[in-house]
Homo-oligomer: A and B are copies of this chain.
């Protein structure tokens, strides 16, 4: 007996972070004309433990996989994109239109993944009014009314570290519920507000320390 139809199934974060990888890999197979895909083959291609992939997929697939064959690709991709919210678009705002902010604003990939960054905000008057890609830059003073009017729930922070907390506070005050933080600082938020930190220095630390250990032959 299996539990299906992802209703109220709690999917762990770790699984969630692998789903986009599965999606893009399986998408590629679909484009190559494949009709079926097995968890086993996905595991092999992505260098993951097969049990892990089976468990992940069985958590999101609306139908059981068929022994020997695997999953029907069309159905599985549909379930994955449903699950990842690629089918319904979330709006977001971005604050801090420096080089990183610009990069994110103009990246078209996000929209295919269900995130539409509606506008950018910046305090620099020289930037205000400009159009970056197809996105307008508004002054910080308009953020509050914008959030309240549109009900947007996701905020992206790409300001320097020392301004991040204050931007964050403003966002939360106005009703933002989820924050994607690219500033190198941890944010203090009230309980219930979601924060995802994108922390390059931390990643770098892990990598270079591991390399140092390796070179020192400290297993």
A contacts, CB < 8 Å to B: 8, 10-11, 13, 16-21, 24, 46-47, 83-85, 90, 99-100, 103, 106, 109-110, 113-115, 153-154, 161, 177-178, 180, 184-186, 188, 192, 194, 196, 198-212, 214-215, 218
> In the complex, are the beta carbons of B154 and A17 less than 8 A apart?
no
> In the complex, are the beta carbons of A13 and B153 less than 8 A apart?
no
Dominant secondary structure of chain A at its interface with chain B: helix
Count of identical protomers in the assembly? 2
Query: Told that A47-B186, A90-B211, A192-B214 touch, could you supply 15 new A-B pairs with CB distance under 8 A?
Result: A10-B218, A16-B202, A16-B205, A17-B202, A19-B205, A20-B184, A20-B202, A24-B161, A47-B188, A153-B211, A154-B207, A154-B211, A196-B204, A196-B206, A198-B203
> In the complex, are the beta carbons of A8 and B47 less than 8 A apart?
no
Contacts of A210 in B (CB 8 A): 13, 16, 178, 194
Contacts of A83 in B (CB 8 A): 209
> In the complex, are the beta carbons of A180 and B206 less than 8 A apart?
no
Q: How far is the CA of A214 from the CA of B153 in the complex (A)?
A: 11
Contacts of A100 in B (CB 8 A): 103
Minimum CB–CB distance from A153 to chain B (whole Å) comes to: 6
Closest 10 interchain pairs by CB?
A17-B202, A196-B207, A178-B211, A20-B201, A16-B206, A20-B205, A46-B186, A20-B202, A194-B210, A84-B205
